[in-house]
Amino acid sequence: MKAILTDITKCIGCTQCVTACKMTNELGADKPRDWQKNDGLSARNWTSVLSKDGYYLRKQCRHCQEPACAAACPVGALHQTDLGAVVYDSDKCLGCRYCMMACPYGIPRYDWDLAVPYIRKCILCHDNIVSGRLEQPACTQACPTGATIYGERGQLLKIARKRIEAEPEKYLDIIYGEKEAGGTNVLYITSKECPLDFLLYYNNRIEKDKHLLGAPDFNDPYPALTKWAMGSVPVAFVGMGAVMSGIYWMVKRRQKLENEMKEPENGEN
């Protein structure tokens, strides 16, 4: 399974990864919304670079090994590929946005600029890699310092551990994504001096979800934690369908009565 390793200590904040992503995926200029999260991600920005205290963090979909977004989707619009990328089929999407609510990292974004909006997010350049157009994601290929690299997940974990062991005074002894949320295919290592709040969205989300999920462990896959909630989705669809059918009947009935009242008047004329 393929993955990305980002070494925050090597990132210089050049944003060449952001440019490469936009060009390769033909995303166009962003249109910020007032309600968007202040993390640079949107339907037209699938990766962003955050900065704090002299450190830079590239943010993107984490491509969970057990993706909560895919588990939450009632029609299978999201799924994980053999290469590890979590990809999206817009032809199947209902626009329900359950994936946005399910993601422990807050990644998927809604494309409000389309007449029929759907979800957009990083797909690890899956289509381009499968077709042979690219050998690796555009973002990792564009990185000038090797701060973000692409390869087999197991090999990247070994590289990360070697760096940590070689410079224990420099690196925090954690590989983010190795176990969190059941493990992800986008991994991070960082300096002991680096502020961690922009890395720990998952942990913050878990804290907020404790009132619903009990006291889950940070390493638990989210699909296992939320399956009880998703079990009610079919019921919700049936209930909403019944409500909408009732409203439709009432509207059509009202229109029919109005037409019947107008017919005698037209006949008199």
The beta strand positions in the chain, using DSSP E, are 2-7, 48-52, 55-59, 78-80, 86-88, 109-110, 119-120, 148-152, 186-189
pLDDT at 238: 45
What's the burial of 191, exposed, middle or buried (CB within 10 Å: 0-12/13-18/19+)? Answer: middle
Chain length of the chain: 269
Mean pLDDT of all residues belonging to the chain = 81
Average pLDDT for runs of 10 along the chain of length 269: 96 96 90 70 92 91 93 90 92 86 88 78 96 96 97 98 97 92 93 80 59 53 54 49 52 62 56
Quick one: CA dihedral 176, 16, 47, 22, positive or negative? negative
Spatial distance between the Cα atoms of 52 and 59, rounded to a whole number of angstroms: 13
- The C-alpha angle with vertex 268 and arms to 267 and 269, in degrees rounded to 5, equals 90
Query: pLDDT tens digit string along 175-230?
Result: 999 998 889 999 999 999 988 776 776 566 655 555 444 544 556 665 555 554 45
What is the tens place of the pLDDT at every residue in 20-36? 999 999 998 877 666 56
